[in-house]
Amino acid sequence: MSHETSYLIAKLMLIIMVTQLFVLGYTFYTDYSGRKAISNAARVGCERDRRSRIANATGWRIAEDARQQSGDISVANRYSQLAETLEEAARADCNKEFPKASIIP
């Protein structure tokens, strides 16, 4: 094998190695981007559900007050239980439940 041929083979191998490094870097980048998007979407959904639970609990509290005013205590107690359950579920910390995506999985 001549000196020129071995130089071209070495150059080709170097180009292949650099290309492989770019492909590997792009793979890690797209993996991180996907995990970041999923984490953000889950956090946004959690916040939306939390606000919805708070609004529903407020509605049940209003219904509970109305039933207590009308003297229907057993139904008012049930409404109170429903509101307490929703308020407890609304206390979830979405940032803790769905942490930010890290660079290393």
Instruction: Map the chain to HEC letters.
Output: CCHHHHHHHHHHHHHHHHHHHHHHHHHHHHHHHHHHHHHHHHHHHHHHHHHHHHHHHHHHHHHHHHHHHHCCHHHHHHHHHHHHHHHHHHCCCHHHHCCCCCCCC
Reported as a single tens digit per residue, the pLDDT across 6-35 is: 999 999 999 999 999 999 999 999 999 999
Query: How is the chain split into domains, by residue range?
Result: 57-92
Tell me: pLDDT of 103 over 90: no
Across the range 31-43, mean pLDDT stands at 95
Reported as a single tens digit per residue, the pLDDT across 55-77 is: 999 999 999 999 999 999 999 99
